[in-house]
Amino acid sequence: MDKSTKPASRHTIEITSTRRDVVGSGDFERANRGLVARHATGVIEVGGAAVYDVNRYSFLGHGEDNPETVHPTLWRQAQLNSIHGLFEVAPGVWQARGYDISNVTFVQGETGWIVIDPLTVAPTAKACLELANETLGRRPVSAVIYTHSHADHFGGVLGVVTRDQVSIGDCRVIAPVGFLAETVGENVVAGPAMLRRAVFQFGPLLPTGERGHVDCGLGKAIPFWQSDLIAPTESITETGQEVVVDGVRMVFQLTPGTEAPAEMNFYFPDQKWLCTAENCTATMHNLVPIRGALVRDALAWSKYIDETLEMFGSQAEVQFASHNWPNWGNEAIGVYLSLQRDLYRWMHDQTMRQANHGMTATEIAELLELPDEFALVAHTIGHYGDLVHNVKAVYQRYLSWYDANPARLWELPPEESAKRYVDLAGGPENLLSKARQAFDGGDYRWVAELVAHLVFADPANEDGRELLADTFEQLGYQSQSATFRNAYLQGAQELRFGTPARQPVPAGRFVESMTVDQIVDTMAVRLKAEEVGGLTASVGLVVTDRGESWTVHLENRCLRAVPGIKPGSPDATVEVSTPSIMGLLEGKSGLDDLVGQGHLALDGDKQAVEAVFGHLDRFETFFPVVTP
């Protein structure tokens, strides 16, 4: 099998050489505006290992035409997102951009920094804070604001503040109502599966270069480190709520169900600054990311942007977001927000219009094309989200994955159906012969569908794997969306070199910030139900480092927790700390180990404790995706 990357085919070159002028000629000026400093080397390291390195993308240049292996507008977006440094957005507010997939914003308060969205990981956040302190004068962090419940907006919090500083009240942590529940649901309950799928969406394992990773659409790349979490100390609970943070007035707008289930915009009335979180960025966004998440509400998204315009649009002079670059000037901001508003409304309305004619999600995605009002404007083009995928998300939100045809109500699993399709095609060689003809004709989507059957029927078929890898590669080169490109190229890489070795998935560094109820919910997802049939047990759980008592029940192959311990009711009681519970979840410690080490005190029926805590599954990442 030829494992080398291939050049663009003539069919791909027809697409990547076709350029359309887009409205957004000032984007390079906006992305560079206000530059005051850059990281000295562009390499953020921990112990000599690079967590983030801007130099990996030096091949992009600035202003050069796209190569044959990258879509022209994605190349432009990638160049814009490679502009890095500390930028003055307006007097009193600065952003560090280009050192993570997201932006961190520093607002000067009366006593210290108000940090908005402290990036994905602590090392990048720490480096950006140090850059701000060295350039603008050292200040303590007086407050942290999480705009929403995605890890690239809170995961670096320990790089800007310590848990002790928050616990003693030196630093406020502010988030929208529901933040913690949504964070746990997405990053812990579904974390292992989502982590694997994110490898395809963001492409962190791809080599950088013209035939590899060029961008993530919303920002350059994901840093190589783990995210952390400090729970909010206060929540924003209603739209219009005004809060003074370190002497700075802010007016908040809750926008739940938009880009995140818990999200908020906010306005600085004294300065006329508008933060639009991740609701309005310089690209069409996802209505459901390919990594997985709750489906977003395109109609609500559009209406919230309209509300933003009504509340703040006539006043705002600066608009900045958690990704990409700002906009300046009231008129320009109004046009920008209006187009963003109407983009999500158009996708919603036209998808459901066709659905009500009886069309399926796949058919609608094939039918709809982005009209020139959006297709010719840089910030409404699908460099992150993609119209094809967003149409299916709208359909899914209202009508589910099922298209109402009973033939697809209970389909055979992929491996079984694959074997039958290969047999129907007359065997592997006949299938490959037809697929190669289609490949030569540039019909790559059909080739992918056809040869995927062969790979799932016989993953050892080298000719099939090679042809499918070559096909994914061409589809990746043609993709305007960075997420589609990354997914296709990651698929090609795994077909050529195999799935990376499986690794245990940690329970998560969020456990310290989770409620006990959420920790038990995480345990429940790991329960091996097949091993606990007929078992019933109740265990009083005293979490020593929190001073909380709960009762965990095992019944009908399910775990659940209720607050408090009724005298004499549990079969047993254990006293244990949060870190020790995390050890159990991750499989690093067994019950006997914790008892022997003095980390768990047990009173009562040990078998009940073993029934509750002794049947927890261990998750691994890098499960197969493009092979069975």
Say how far residue 483 (Cα) sits from the centre of its chain: 11
To which residue do tokens 């395109």 refer? 298
So what's the pLDDT on residue 157?
A: 98
Cα–Cα dist 495/467, whole Å: 10
- Cα 603 to Cα 284, 539, 609, distances in angstroms: 57, 10, 10
Structure tokens at 77: 């977006």
Reduce the DSSP state of residue 47 to 3 states and report it.
Answer: coil
Q: Are 244 and 103 in contact (CB under 8 A)?
A: no
Per-block mean pLDDT, blocks of 10 residues, the chain (628 long): 95 92 84 98 96 97 90 97 98 98 98 98 98 98 98 97 97 97 84 93 98 98 95 97 98 97 98 98 97 96 98 98 98 98 98 98 98 95 97 98 96 96 98 98 98 98 98 98 98 97 78 88 94 96 95 97 92 93 82 88 94 92 95
Structure tokens at 345: 């409304």
List, as one string, the DSSP characters of 317-383: SEEE-SSS--EESHHHHHHHHHHHHHHHHHHHHHHHHHHTTT--HHHHHHH----HHHHTBGGGS-S
So what's the pLDDT on residue 595?
A: 87
So what's the pLDDT on residue 592?
A: 86
Cα–Cα dist 419/455, whole Å: 9
User: How buried is residue 445: exposed, middle or buried, by Cβ count under 10 Å (0-12/13-18/19+)?
Assistant: exposed
Structure tokens at 184: 């746990």
So what's the pLDDT on residue 391?
A: 98
In this structure, the strands spanning 548-555 and 537-543 are antiparallel
So what's the pLDDT on residue 367?
A: 98
**Inter-helix orientation angle 191-202/482-497, to 10°:** 100
Q: Are 374 and 418 in contact (CB under 8 A)?
A: no
Q: Which domains, ranges and CATH numbers included, belong to the chain?
A: 10-396 (3.60.15.30), 408-478+490-503 (1.25.40.880), 511-613 (3.30.1050.10)
**Inter-helix orientation angle 462-478/482-497, to 10°:** 160
- For residue 170, what is the enclosing H or E element? none
Strand order across the beta sheet in which 172-176 lies: 35-37, 85-90, 93-97, 104-108, 113-116, 141-145, 172-176, 234-236
Structure tokens at 426: 């007359």
So what's the pLDDT on residue 21?
A: 76
